[in-house]
Structure 1
Amino acid sequence: MGRRSKYLTADAKRAAKKAQAQLYRQTEKGKEARRRENKKQTDKQRARKLTWVGVLILLELYTRSQKTLRASFAVQDPGPLMGLWTSPYEFAMPDVSLLPTIDGGNRAKASIWNSCVAVLGAYQYGEVIETGWRCFEQWTADHLVLDEVEVQVKEEVVERLEAWVCLADSMTEDGRDVEVVEIGLDWGAKIIRMLVEEWEMRKDDGDAGY
């Protein structure tokens, strides 16, 4: 007599393996394995080099920096900046339960402008405007020494890049608050790109072009 098969069909066997894999990913061991895999993939990306102000930029960061990011203009008050605007630019997880909703609506069912992406994006957009004006005042000042400012810009890019890589390495596909971490990665990349592009415009075109 033969041993009875554990699974009656090939589909049942595949479904069981999938369920087992999902359970494994929820364990600490599975999450650690995912973190190692993320780091491995990040290291591979480093081989494909892009340079901004003399700093090597990861392809993933460059790709994210090209996104058109969403911001809800229905949000008026200041809110969490996720650590993206203060040195050392380490990501700070906001409490999304405290974020405002449009007309008190249900965030899960309301429009895209009521989403975490749009609300958190509004706070970052507001800071982009404020920071842009500060840079304009500083970078159009009399007797500005371009070489000194470029060193400062490069140092900020390096510091921001290090914080961005730490955040990217820490993210797990099945971890908590993945959506918010994605927002942090997108805006972190966008801020670096805008800083570099704004500085290059000032350096190459002078006060008139800037």
Structure 2
Amino acid sequence: MTDTITAEDAHLWLEEVDGADAMAWVRDRNAETVAALTGEARFAELRDEIRIVLDADDRIPMIAWHGERVYNLWKDAAHPRGLWRRTTLADYRTGEPTWDTVLDLDALAATEDENWVWQGATYLRRGPSPATTGRCCRCPAAAPTPPSCASSTWTARSSSRTASSCPRRRATSAGSRSTRSSWARTPGRAR
């Protein structure tokens, strides 16, 4: 039922995906495509119009509702990587919410000299409040809540570890991958 192909495939060299010849061919095709798409004056007009819309301050922030707060990743001309921020649902409904910045990816990238890119957030399940239980969520039941732990509901410093002001949390989670937010180091530009 299947016929055998006897002629040699002229493009067999493309099968070596990381080969020098295949990569050169891809770069040439990409250059042709970019030139065809961006070569006319209309491209610059469309790009500028789209950028104005994407950077507009009057956009409706898309939110993720978690507990008593709503969260939003806001990107604009001043924050091309984004601001992870939060407010209460009642404040969000006012039309002019007051946002608390949870993480400024642009400031983090500048401070750490890395190209951090937002990949989303994972919310940890919350148990009883430290104020009512006298302990933080990961510390043993007999351990009192350190003062810095009681207000520390969102802490993260890097993609490879959870940072916390609670010494017991720090000791148990050093080197773990249980961060509350997720971002990645990538080469290139933020946009």
With the length of structure 2 as denominator, give the TM-score of the two structures.
0.27
Point out the structure with max Rg over C-alpha: 2
Query: As a proportion of its length, which structure holds more strand?
Result: 2
Which one scores higher on RCO, CA 8 angstroms, separation ≥ 6?
Answer: 1
With the length of structure 1 as denominator, give the TM-score of the two structures.
0.25
Query: As a proportion of its length, which structure holds more helix?
Result: 1
